Amino acid sequence: MDELTIELVLRLMQDDASGALGLIKGKARSGQMTDHELALTEWAQELRHCACTFEDYKMAKSLARAVFHDGVALAAATEEENRAFRDRMTALQLVGRNQSTPDQLLGQKRAAMAGLNGLMGDSNTVFQEDRVPRAESSKVAAARNLDSQTHLNCVACMEAKPYFDIFKAACSHYYCRSCIGRLVHDSFVDESIFPPKCCRVPFPLPTMKSLLDEEMVRKFEEKTVEYNDFNRTYCANPLCSRYLRPAPVALTIRTCASCNTPTCSTCKQRAHAGVCVEREVEILEMAKTEGWQRCTRCRNIVELKSGCNHITCRCGFEFCYTCAMKWKTCGCKVWDENRLLDRAHQVAARNEGNPQPAQQEVQMAVQELREQHNCKHDRWRRRDGETSCDVCHGQLPDFILRCQRCKIEVCVRCRYNRL
């Protein structure tokens, strides 16, 4: 909610409280206050407190922006004023009108400002006292200090943003307001990044609420219910396909609130009479022929082209590609030899920059892949050039991040928010 809307809501609520108090004023006995009047009085006081708090917030934000925009100029002006002060004190000392040295007087002046400097320097984020080395230009030092105090680097867009528009993840990475909003919005249509996370640690909704609008918060709560339903039913109308929440009682027919289409929650088709008929027989037969596997949690079909048999479905379930059982609960091999060689060939080709690497390089890559199967992806290096992400398969025109252990190459989004 923007500031103008908040201000309008507070003013309307205060008007309502004043009007309600005016209607009941004088109806009780002299010197007595009814419960209704007491509640309205407390409500009015609370609204006044909220209004004062909101005004303080606007003033603090205005000051922060003023320091951000004018801080360098103020620092330079202060340095210029100090230089003029020293010159004046030197002139006074030369004519015998003042026995203190310029540095002593300047120290007294700074001491007089200590209260203000202390007030502005207590924050952990901004407004710390400048300590400028004598060999450095005051303007350069002021700009450097101001930038480091009021700006933080967003790990997603890699830009320095004002501290009051920054979200700090549990892993200590920073996200700006626009990037956190984009990540949350993308997670609504890409289950593999829901809930939004960084370094595998999810972002709790309460910590993000101040950076999201009410509509996004509402949709986040709806998606939490949807993505935690492992037997989901969607509207059978292909032009709607809205998620249908589970009914309070075990009903096989659910009616869409948007288009009023009745859907069978058993076979996921339009409501029908009699026994459900499996309409995905052809797809399942093709999956069996091609060697594809089906997630036992969300029932989505998964195809593995290269890599190990450890599959992480977009719903978050980890299973074995060979038998579809939960990962580490079966005795299947970790690698299929053909897929292992295919993956090793990809890695060796990247290392050598040659689409046809030597057989020795391929065998070395096979050994490394076997050893780094349980890689935690904690050592990354940037590789410049146009390439594609191994996870989301997005095309990257400038650079990609490569894990130094397992050699996987991923985009920034996958490195922080998906792996």
CB contact at 8 A, 383 and 400:
yes
pLDDT category of residue 113 using cuts at 50, 70 and 90: very low
pLDDT category of residue 58 using cuts at 50, 70 and 90: confident
Torsion sign, CA atoms 278, 281, 282, 283: positive
pTM comes to: 0.59
Rounding to the nearest 10 degrees, give the CA dihedral for residues 127, 129, 133, 138: 60
Give the separation between CA 350 and CA 344, rounded to whole angstroms: 10
Q: What is the pLDDT of residues 3-19, one digit of tens each?
A: 788 888 888 888 888 88
Residue 261 DSSP code? -
Please determine, for residue 135, whether its predicted confidence score (pLDDT) is greater than 60. no
In CATH, what is the architecture of 1-10+139-228? Answer: 2-Layer Sandwich (3.30)
The pLDDT assigned to 134 comes to: 43
pLDDT category of residue 98 using cuts at 50, 70 and 90: low
Q: How far, rounded to the nearest angstrom, does the alpha carbon of residue 361 sit from its chain's CA centroid?
A: 40
Angle between helices 214-227 and 177-187 in degrees, nearest 10? 40
Please determine, for residue 53, whether its predicted confidence score (pLDDT) is greater than 90. no
pLDDT category of residue 124 using cuts at 50, 70 and 90: very low
Give the separation between CA 399 and CA 410, rounded to whole angstroms: 10
- How many Cβ atoms are within 10 Å of 34's Cβ, its own excluded? 12
Q: What is the pLDDT of residues 329-365, one digit of tens each?
A: 998 988 888 888 888 888 888 876 777 888 888 888 8
The pLDDT assigned to 29 comes to: 61
Q: What is the mean pLDDT of the chain?
A: 80
Exposure on the CB side of residue 341, measured as CA atoms within 13 A: 5
The pLDDT assigned to 215 comes to: 92
Residue of higher predicted confidence among 20 and 259: 259
User: Where in the chain are the domains?
Assistant: 1-10+139-228, 376-418
Please determine, for residue 100, whether its predicted confidence score (pLDDT) is greater than 60. no
Beta bridge partners of 162: 151
pLDDT category of residue 184 using cuts at 50, 70 and 90: very high
- How many Cβ atoms are within 10 Å of 3's Cβ, its own excluded? 11
